[in-house]
Amino acid sequence: MADHITKTLILGSGSAGCTAAIYAARAALKPIVVSGMQPGGQLTITTEVENFPGFEDPIQGPELMERMRVQAERMGTVFCQDHIVSLDLSTRPFVAVGDSGDRYIADTLILATGASARWLGLDSEVTWMGRGVSACATCDGFFFRGREVAVVGGGNSAVEEALFLAGPASRVTLIHRRNSLRAEQTLQDRLLSHPKIRVLWDRQVVEIEGGGEPAGVTGVRLRNVHTGAEEVLPVEGVFIAIGHTPNTDLVRDQLDTDDAGYIRTVPGSTKTSVPGVFAAGDVQDPVFQQAVTAAGTGCMAALEALRFLEETGSAGA
């Protein structure tokens, strides 16, 4: 067990956390990043990334995150492979305790713990992850140009994903286990009138099927929730859109969050309800949830942490 003392502690090592680390290190804050349960964040379970600026050719998600980590380390960031189990924001310096027993003591804190996609819980979902199964249409929809895909869900996220995919895909089937959608009426109207989208009501996904060469998704096995009858829908992509859960368990009783648990920040800022604590990336963004927007707020958080330290006279060595 050891104490790690820093001007800026960053929880999370996705694009928000790594970008914050790069900027904080350049400002001589000697940041420490605690990588968390999923080092590198959600991009580490993504295959090709085509929409992150600066790469002419697609880059694999894990490679992109490795490059960010190496860049941050080269600037002077220290990465700790630990998972925070408790966090005290009642006084400064803030104290976080890791699963290792180590304590992390910091004058400022950047929360970049992200949000986790909700999944159906099928083994086949894991098997075909990145080979036809996705939770992000704006990330992966481009790979399904001219192909038939399915979207699972019935809320705003599912309808928005289906409408987005109707651009590149040849046909989109929305699968919903009920006979009505929860999405806003305007979105429903657009969906139900779209010539490339159909809805299968009262269906539950029981299996995602795959095969071929190269191996990928070939269809979804569906069960009618009323009759129990099963059918296979041939598709090459399955997008799970049943929502995300922000990783905010550590701070829900200490910071202002919205009804879904996302950290509230001051508009145009990453400041939270506790001075000296900043939030970046998907943990405070229920709307865009993109690597590039997360990186942008990571930059903002580091610069705001520096200003906070300067204003409170804590920026010196």
pLDDT digits (tens, 9 = 90+) for 242-272: 988 999 999 999 999 999 999 999 999 999 9
Handedness of CA 288, 292, 298, 299 (dihedral sign): negative
Task: Give the DSSP per-residue string, 265-288.
Answer: --TTS-B-SSTTEEE-GGGG-SS-
136 is catalytic: yes
140 is catalytic: yes
Give the pLDDT confidence of 150-196 residue by residue, as tens digits.
Answer: 999 999 889 989 999 999 999 999 999 999 999 889 999 999 999 99
Q: Quick check: 1 pLDDT over 90? A: no
Residue 67 CA, distance from chain mean position: 18
* Residue 38 confidence class, pLDDT cut points 50, 70, 90: confident
Side chain identity at residue 47, one-letter code: T
Q: Can you give the pLDDT at residue 42?
A: 79
In angstroms, rounded to a whole number, what is the distance separating the alpha carbons of residues 269 and 272? Answer: 9
Tell me the two tokens of residue 98.
């890791």
- From the candidates 82, 136, 282, 285, which is the catalytic residue? 136
Identify any residues that bridge with 79 across adjacent strands, giving them in sequence order. Answer: 33
- From the candidates 80, 82, 107, 139, which is the catalytic residue? 139
- From the candidates 140, 189, 202, 253, which is the catalytic residue? 140
Tell me the two tokens of residue 80.
């700790």
In angstroms, rounded to a whole number, what is the distance separating the alpha carbons of residues 26 and 31? Answer: 10
Give the pLDDT confidence of 123-157 residue by residue, as tens digits.
Answer: 999 999 989 999 988 889 999 999 999 999 999 88
Side chain identity at residue 207, one-letter code: E
| Average pLDDT for 217-243 | 97
Task: Calculate what percentage of the chain has a pLDDT beyond 90.
Answer: 84
Identify any residues that bridge with 239 across adjacent strands, giving them in sequence order. Answer: 134, 151
- Interhelix angle for 185-192 vs 156-165, to 10°? 30
139 is catalytic: yes
Give the pLDDT confidence of 64-102 residue by residue, as tens digits.
Answer: 999 999 999 999 999 999 999 999 999 999 999 999 999
